[in-house]
Amino acid sequence: MKKLRNKPMRQAQPQPLARRIRYIPYINRHVFNSYSMDYINHTITVLAGEWESTVKRFETDEEVAYTWEKSEQHDSGDVGLDLEQLGCTNWLSYQQYFDIKDFDDSKDYHLNIEGINQLFLIKVNDMSLGVVDTTQAVIEFDVTAMINGQNNKIELITGFQSMDVVSDSAELDFEMDLCQNLYILERANDRIENYEIVIKDINQHGLMLQLQILDIDGAPLPSFVLVDAEARMILESDIDIDKVTSIHIPLSQDGHPPFILYIETEHETIAHRIEINGKHEPVVLTH
């Protein structure tokens, strides 16, 4: 079992987080069943909408920039810069300003960059996260110490060699579309960070699965509740974070799959869907 880590004191620098199973935590299972968009808007700050794009040329003592908003066409002749001049470094910068609804300085805030599939330098409020690549391990950063409730700025920067990139509306729009997939997730201090579910056996009597907590932050006291498709409770129990938890899901006329396994702590609930054929995955709302 992976060594569990306790939550460190908040750092002034952004902290890359280990890759985890993809899920969106809910306040509790009752909120999950209510499909409350108010909760989703509270928990997730989606960095969608209009991004401002800027072409920059950096020289020894000079920065020249041209800015436009996303549009159907970008005419390279309007830029008026010789961006292919030798000795210059050329960049495309995408920026957006955002607020955090009901910002709570007792919570943690994680920037999820899962939707970015190319190299970008990312800055939050002018503080750098470095060059990120989601084909590697990191898809989230703890940016708690970098953001406020209002007037936050995020910037994605990528380099280019040819002016053809700047004049290609489709390329610019594609990169802006990548920006739409970023979001900031509010997390409780005491939480499950990562977990694993393995189906061990399937027969006429039901399913046997094993649940293992791989990583935590703080000191959560986890438990689980198993319900059927009609939200009728089948089983509930505490979870020992130092052991593998075995769960038997009986098949009967009274239990209708798919089943939902709620993995709960005091302030968060993870919902995991389990099918009768053994397929399973966390329930993730699209954003």
pTM to 2 decimals? Answer: 0.78
Share of the chain above pLDDT 70, in %: 70
Q: Which residue has the higher pLDDT, 251 or 133?
A: 251
DSSP calls for 103-169: --TTSEEEEE-TT--S-EEEEETTEEEEEE-TTSS--EEE-GGG--SS-EEEEEEEE-S-HHHHH-H
The answer to whether domain 37-186 and domain 189-279 are alike in fold is no
Range 189-279: architecture per CATH: Sandwich (2.60)
Q: Find the radius of gyration of the CA atoms of the chain.
A: 23
pLDDT value at 263 more than 80: yes
pLDDT value at 216 more than 70: yes
Q: Which residue has the higher pLDDT, 246 or 35?
A: 246
Q: Which residue has the higher pLDDT, 202 or 63?
A: 202
pLDDT for 78 equals: 40
CB count within 10 Å of CB 132 equals 19
> What's the topology of domain 37-186?
Jelly Rolls (2.60.120)
Token pair 């599939």 is found at 117
Contacts with 204 (C-beta within 8 Å, 6 or more apart), sequence order = 251
pLDDT for 37 equals: 62
CB 158 within 8 A of CB 56: no
Which sequence spans correspond to the domains of the chain? 37-186, 189-279
Each residue of 220-236: pLDDT tens digit?
999 999 999 888 999 99
Distance from C-alpha of 192 to C-alpha of 25, rounded to nearest angstrom: 10
Q: Which residue has the higher pLDDT, 137 or 53?
A: 53
| Tokens standing for residue 4 | 């569990």
Q: Which residue has the higher pLDDT, 168 or 140?
A: 140
